[in-house]
Amino acid sequence: MISAYLKEQTKPLHDALEQKMMVEKIFNKTLSKEDYLKILKVNLSVHKTVEPIIENQLKEDTKNELQFEKRRKLPKLQSDFPISEDFPELSFSLANQQEALGALYVLEGATLGGNVIKKQLLQNPEFQNQSFQYYGIYGEKLSGMWKNFLEVLEQNIGESQKDDALNGAEKTYRLFLNSAESII
């Protein structure tokens, strides 16, 4: 299965990013509002760069199968981030649909972690009355959206294309790591 392959191959990148994104503070409920804004900023800078590039590489049929419109996270991030700020253009490219699906694997997988993060933050006194648009984006539909994504991934990535998908996923993780390095 392509998703199992991506998960296994990118585990070190996932775990490194988790650390950079202050996972300990999230779980021991010491994350501050200032920290939270930095995390949002990393996400905003990456999504602003990557979402349009993914969209350009996906075929219309694939976008329909994915319900792509529902997966846009940039508007949610913009509504969570209260400060008007210009974000630097980040250098990023995707060569084909397989790479784009690999990149989307990272952005969609982050919604699984996002759900966990939201639950943790709601137990942190700093965030009692906070509304979260980005974390918890799919609400009750989270597992259905992930299942649908995995189906489209399996249908569109053949055995000989799985390294393109991996390449897209790795590039996306590295962009997150670089952005986190400069912002956090």
Contact range with ligand HEM by CB under 6 A, out of 67-75, 90-98, 112-120, 153-161:
112-120
> C-alpha distances in angstroms, 161 versus 20, 54, 153, 164, 169?
30, 17, 11, 5, 13
Q: Restricting to residues 14-53, which ones interact with ligand HEM according to CB under 6 A?
A: 14, 17-18, 21, 23, 26
Q: Give min distance, CB of 170 to ligand HEM, in A.
A: 11
Query: Dihedral of CA 119/120/125/131: which sign?
Result: negative
Cβ closest to ligand HEM, residue 8 vs residue 60: 8
Binding of ligand HEM at residue 78 (CB under 6 A)? no
In whole angstroms, what is the distance from residue 115 CA to residue 149 CA?
Answer: 17
109 binds ligand HEM (CB under 6 A): yes
Q: Give the C-alpha separation, 180 to 176, whole Å.
A: 6
Residues in contact with ligand HEM, shown as a per-residue x/- string from 140 to 179 under the rule CB under 6 A: ------------------------------------x---
- Report yes or no: 42 and 180 within 8 Å, Cβ to Cβ: yes
Question: In this complex, which beta carbon is closest to ligand HEM, that of residue 2 or of residue 58?
Answer: 2
- Smaller CB separation from ligand HEM, 101 or 117: 117
**Contact assessment for residue 115 and residue 89, using Cβ atoms and an 8 Å cutoff:** no
**How far apart are alpha carbons 41 and 22 in whole angstroms?**
13
How far apart CA 99 and CA 81 sit, in angstroms, is 29
Identify the residue among 32, 79, 95, 116 touching ligand HEM (CB under 6 A).
116
* Residue ranges that bind ligand HEM, judged by CB under 6 A: 3, 6-7, 14, 17-18, 21, 23, 26, 105-106, 109-110, 112-113, 116-117, 176
